[in-house]
Amino acid sequence: MPENIIEDFTKGEYKYGFTSDIETDIIPTGLNEDVVRLISAKKEEPEWLLNFRLKAFEHWKKLEPPTWAHLDIPEIDFQKISYFAAPKKKVKSMDEVDPELIKTFNKLGIPLEEQMALSGMAVDAVMDSVSVKTTFKENLMEKGIIFCSFSEAVKHHPDLVQKYLGSVVPYADNYYAALNSAVFSDGSFVYIPKGVRCPMELSTYFRINAENTGQFERTLIVADEEAYVSYLEGCTAPQRDENQLHAAIVEIIVHDNAEVKYSTVQNWYPGDKNGNGGIYNFVTKRGICHENAKLSWTQVETGSAITWKYPSCILKGDNSSAEFYSVAVTNNYQQADTGTKMIHLGKNTRSHIVSKGISAGKSQNSYRGLVKVAKNAENSRNYSQCDSLLLGDKCGAHTFPYMDINNKSSVVEHEATTSKISEEQIFYCNQRGISTEDAIGLIVNGYAKEVINKLPMEFAVEAQKLLQVSLEGSVG
Amino acid sequence: MLEIKDLHANINGKEILKGINLTIKEGEVHAIMGPNGSGKSTLSAVLAGNPNYEVTKGSASFLGKNLLELSPEDRSREGLFLSFQYPVEIQGVSMVNFMRAAVNEHRKYKKLPALSASDFLKLMRERKEFVELDNSLANRSVNEGFSGGEKKRNEIFQMAMLEPRLSILDETDSGLDIDALRIVANGVNKLKNPHSSTIVITHYQRLLDYIKPDIVHVLYKGQIVKTGTPDLALELEERGYDWIKKELGE
């Protein structure tokens, strides 16, 4: 009967759920000071970085996990997680890469061999705790662009790393940020020198493979004055019954007149239709904009059992601007509490927020956003639009907008809508020859269009497919 | 083309259709008239496969196939088109994307290759002329912000795109002013061909001045109680339905 049409929402299969048989160097589970020291030693880190980690760890021990999000988070036993796993073989050239590893990334559609990279996109591939390969590194270096794994950056560009690490997200920022700062393994580092426009999309692909491990990557992007870069991030994980923890930090520094676009397609394993397994995704992403700088966050969130994530921007410089475009899909028992923080400090700063939530099954989907305008941020402007789309009547959509406005010349606007895919709409599509699955795809992609259009071309096509797959079987 | 025998159907357990018998041949235009609540819209919904209705008895064959066994989308692909009385709005889905999906699904069903973007747009430009819709149509969301008249013209436009064998026009005249009525009716007439048939569901003779029926039926309390020539429609216009009720002994 009609209710069933929008009820059986759970046949969608996760197509990245395979595991790869790769020899892995994995440290025993558990977390203490020795483990922090061990990670640092394995990565042959300088003293200052070890001290950074130790300070973070000391601080983390004093913290409690945050409980303010609209999430039901089972207690996590941090002693049952392994904090470092790496594919065993060290890689110097492509010939030395474990063929299983190449196979894995090919299966994910990420070509590691440069001649195969069709789109001219530079890729950094991170498997479990380490970066396995960065493509086009040499080509980029000719323009002075640094694009490498975080570990390499520590070795070859320690001054840059030391200058910026923790400058936007201090280790004491929050519980998961402190944890990441103590045990982070690898990630990507990007530096675009003054006046340089990065000629290709830079992209990092994160993959969790090993069992019982957490992934704690750290990304640091610095765009020097008048520089420009577009950066993409993708992620997947094998299908497992137990939950795995992913706690990352992304820091972005956008200097005067520079621009950074950061796009994410997050497709961590969401758990099965009964809510077993899946990734806990607790991520701190933040950027700082100096004078006349621009930062744009675009995210398509379809994966993870639990998502806790608020890509934010500190608009420090006068005339700087930021955007946040988000589509978050939850299905089955997934939970998402995601949104942004826009902190207006400079004069004439502008921010634009477009959040599109799509909830299906028995999932809970929340938007949480803060717009803060400081006393001196004259003529600041914010516009927020938060839309929710519901499929069925067992899911939830929530909006938690916070505003803290301390300047009278500023204008802040917030609009919110909630809509539902109705049986009448589905039947109308059916009557024109469009199947129910395709009808949902059309409606969902139409709804998310504004955000999808912000993604680079190749990603947009992927994201559209992903939206449809994520909701497959949602309507019977 | 369409043969309905002793069709009974319920909504929420209440029987609305109580034994419909109706045969429609290729090329014919049938008008179904009747007072409010007689089951006219239910009949069109049941034929199109609306899941809110339950068929409890009887049969319906369409082009030799058991219509009642087909999914709503397959009924459409087989060539059955329903012009809705109240077309729904679908936010964010442009007419061009919507119709392209529909047309290509129909083509896939007939094992034809999908139309290229340029061929599709050409077809769309050509067909919107039938109902005098302007160029902005393609990028507007399906029925969103359309006036009552535009919604009905949009239904006939979709009919022109899908070239159905059997079209059911469910009170296509309701809410239309006289100009819009003329445009819609002209569109329907231009689409008429010897192999397609039409069921016109209406309260009023007015529409039948433009779309000439071959046969007129009166539906009352879930049954077809009278069938006649177009003169029957004129008589109903003049005398109302009471005389029919009297004939039935009410």
Domain extents in chain B:
2-247
Q: How far is it, in rounded angstroms, from Cα B213 to Cα B229?
A: 8
Position A456 in a domain: no
Structural domains counted in chain A:
1
- Confirm or reject contact between B215 and chain A (CB < 8 A): no
| B135: closest CA of chain A, how far (Å) | 20
Chain A residues whose CB is inside 8 A of the B105 CB are: 433-435, 438
Is any Cβ of chain A less than 8 angstroms from the Cβ of B40? no
The region, left, alpha or beta by phi > 0 then psi within -120 to 50, assigned to residue A327 is: beta
Tokens of B134: 């302007």
* pLDDT at position B10: 94
Strand, helix or coil for residue A308: strand
Tell me what pLDDT residue A167 has: 95
Size of interface A-B (CB pairs under 8 A): 80
Mark A12-38 as b/e (b = at least 16 C-beta within 10 Å): bebebeeebebebebbebebeeebbeb
A354 within a domain of the structure (yes/no): yes
Sequence-distant contacts of A399-402: CB under 8 A, at least 24 apart: A399/A366, A399/A367, A400/A70, A400/A339, A400/A366, A400/A367, A400/A368, A400/A369, A401/A367, A401/A369, A401/A371, A402/A368, A402/A369, A402/A370, A402/A371
From the list A425, A433, A443, which residue is nearest B76 (CB)?
A433
Phi, psi of B29 (to 5 degrees): -115, 120
Put simply, whether A453 touches B (Cβ < 8 Å) is: no
Q: Going by CATH, does the domain composed of B2-247 fall within 3.30.590.20?
A: no
SS3 of residue A382 by DSSP: strand
**CB contact (8 A) between residue B105 and residue A5:** no
> Is B13 near chain A, with CB under 8 Å?
no
Question: How far is A78 from A213, CA to CA, in rounded Å?
Answer: 10
Question: Which chain A residues are within 8 Å of B156, Cβ to Cβ?
Answer: none
CB pair distance less than 8 Å for B73 and A434: yes
Asked if the Cβ–Cβ distance from A433 to B87 is below 8 Å, we say: no
Question: Mutation test of the interface with chain A: which of B46, B86, B98, B110, choosing the one with the most A Cβ atoms within 10 A?
Answer: B98
Instruction: Tell me whether A423 touches chain B (CB under 8 Å).
Output: yes
Nearest to A431 among B48, B92, B142 (CB): B48
Expressed as residue numbers, the domain containing A120 is: 26-421
- CA-angle at B193, arms to B190 and B199, nearest 5°: 85
CB of B51 less than 8 A from some CB of A:
yes
- Helix (H) or strand (E) run with residue B72 in it: helix B72-78
Phi and psi at residue B62, to the nearest 5°: -130, 120
CB contact under 8 A, A432 and B109: no
B94 touches chain A (CB under 8 A): yes
Could you say which residues of chain B have pLDDT below 70?
A: none
- Which tokens sit at A130? 């380490």
pTM comes to 0.80
Cα distances (Å, whole numbers) of residue B123 to A311, B99, B103, B120, B161 = 45, 11, 10, 5, 8
Q: A interface mutation test: which of B76, B90, B127, B140 has the most A CBs within 10 A?
A: B90
Rounded Cα distance, A76 and A74, in Å: 6
Please say whether the beta carbons of A470 and A329 come within 8 A: yes
Please list the pLDDT of chain A residue by residue as tens digits (476 residues): 333 333 333 335 666 666 666 666 777 888 899 999 999 998 899 999 999 999 999 999 999 988 888 888 888 888 888 888 776 655 545 555 566 666 666 665 555 554 444 445 566 776 665 665 666 777 788 899 998 889 889 999 999 999 999 999 999 999 999 999 999 988 889 999 999 999 888 888 776 666 667 788 899 999 999 999 999 887 666 666 667 788 999 999 999 999 999 998 887 777 778 878 888 889 999 999 999 999 999 988 888 888 899 999 999 999 999 999 998 888 888 898 999 999 999 999 999 999 999 888 888 899 999 999 999 999 999 999 999 998 888 888 999 999 999 999 999 999 999 888 888 999 999 999 999 988 988 888 888 888 888 887 767 777 777 777 777 666 54
